[in-house]
Amino acid sequence: MNSFSAAQRSRVTMLDVAERAGVSKASVSRFIGEDRALLSEATALRIEQAISELGYRPNQMARGLKRGRTRLIGMLLADIRNPYSIAVMHGVETACRQHGYSLVVCNTDRDDEQESQHLAALRSYNIEGLIVNTLGHHPDLLRELHREMPMVLVDRKVEQLHSDLVGLDNPGAVDTALSHLQEQGYRDVLLVSEPHDGTSSRIERVDSFHQQIAKRPLLRGAAIETGGDLQSRIQTFLAAPADGPKALFCANGIAALAATRALRELGCDLFGEVGLIALDDLDWYPLVGSGITALAQPTEAIGASAFDCLLKRLRGDQGPIRSVDFSVRLVVRGSTRGVLG
């Protein structure tokens, strides 16, 4: 076999292969397409040998556009720096690869203008379907795209968009957290969340927290958001009179990092003075103090399920809109063993 550089291969055309093999360009097209069975064994062998000798690499994008299929799936992310987003994206990409698709990822960086530009770019790439995890501040653009292709939402609802949704059972996650804290003897709970900014999952967790606290006479609770005054608000919570031991419940990994930093800056004994439980289970959780108790999300499964929903739609499924809610897995560490542990 001859060795060719990438530059040399890029200059080899289908016509070059046809001339080397002594066949028509149409025969080469059949060979690299889905009609190889129409060729005789001898013709196919000559084409295969010519491709090998010339180092020909077909332009898959051009072939896909010609056939009306690009095998490209788009994914729109609000914040690619968020560990949750990275983990879900990996699940989507793995599932795409297993089914012969490629993933095009666009990060809006929580910027509405970026989101608008990325949606236009994804449309120009002729993606076949779209997986959306974003703020949803452009529902009209998303609806317009949805008329052209299947779409699946991850974690966050967009009320104006009637699409499949894959995410977490947020009320179930809150129930698991509060039940664990109550069983461990904590009586005063402060929920720490990122600003909701219209994000449905964050709103759902805060609402579920208040609803479930109201049903638990042994618990008292309040909710705050991350920001410049987080440390002072946590300090106020710790200093206030209470009916029993106190704990923080962080609504995601970013809130957990902010709260842990605030506790360290306040000089708290982690986790003797205050307990802590957090959604997500990030790599650094076991490294802080005696380890942070986590509500682990099955992020890989969420990503794979999002692609599975999309694939069903791509294959013609016209069934009712579905919602897939995954449960958390409680991982108990030292941060919630300070009372009864």
List, in order, residues 6 or more apart from 209 with CB less than 8 Å away.
174, 178, 191, 221, 223, 249
Average pLDDT over every residue of 236-240: 95
Q: Where in the chain is the domain with CATH 1.10.260.40?
A: 6-58
3-class DSSP assignment, residue 153: strand
User: For residues 192 and 204, is the Cβ–Cβ distance under 8 A?
Assistant: no
Sign (positive/negative) of CA torsion 276, 280, 283, 284?
A: negative
| pLDDT for 62 beyond 70 | no
| The one-letter amino acid at 178 | L
Which pair of structure tokens corresponds to residue 279? Answer: 């959604």
Average pLDDT over every residue of 272-294: 95
Average pLDDT over every residue of 302-307: 97
State the first-to-last Cα distance of the chain, in angstroms, to the nearest integer: 68
Closest CA to 260 of 23, 4, 252: 252
Domain 70-168+300-326's class? alpha beta
What pLDDT is recorded for position 59?
60
Classify domain 6-58 by CATH architecture.
Answer: Orthogonal Bundle (1.10)
Q: Which CATH number fits domain 170-297+329-336: 3.40.50.2300, 3.30.2080.10, 3.50.50.60, 2.40.50.140?
A: 3.40.50.2300
What pLDDT is recorded for position 140?
86
What pLDDT is recorded for position 206?
97
Work out the percent of the chain whose per-residue pLDDT is above 70. 92
| pLDDT for 313 beyond 60 | yes
Torsion over CA of 257, 263, 269 and 273, rounded to 10 degrees?
-110
Q: Where are the beta strands (DSSP E) in the chain?
A: 72-77, 102-107, 129-133, 151-154, 164-168, 188-193, 220-225, 246-250, 275-279, 293-296, 323-326, 329-331
What pLDDT is recorded for position 165?
96
The distance of Cα 27 from the centroid of its chain, to the nearest Å, equals 42
What pLDDT is recorded for position 182?
96
What pLDDT is recorded for position 1?
43
The pLDDT confidence band at residue 11, using thresholds 50, 70 and 90, is confident
Sign (positive/negative) of CA torsion 41, 47, 50, 54?
A: negative
305: enclosing H helix or E strand: helix 299-314
Any idea which of 57-66, 129-138, 161-170, 282-291 has the lowest mean pLDDT?
57-66
| pLDDT for 31 beyond 60 | yes
What pLDDT is recorded for position 245?
94
Any idea which of 54-58, 103-107, 152-156, 228-232 has the lowest mean pLDDT?
54-58
What pLDDT is recorded for position 326?
97
Q: Where in the chain is the domain with CATH 3.40.50.2300?
A: 70-168+300-326, 170-297+329-336
Any idea which of 39-48, 218-227, 230-239 has the lowest mean pLDDT?
39-48
For the stretch 115-162, pLDDT in tens is: 889 988 888 888 999 999 987 778 888 888 899 999 999 998 887 788
Average pLDDT over every residue of 282-310: 96
The distance of Cα 72 from the centroid of its chain, to the nearest Å, equals 17
Distance CA 22, CA 47 (A): 8
What pLDDT is recorded for position 67?
52
| pLDDT for 66 beyond 80 | no
Average pLDDT over every residue of 101-116: 91
What pLDDT is recorded for position 8?
46
Residue listed under structure tokens 């292709």: 149
| pLDDT for 38 beyond 90 | no
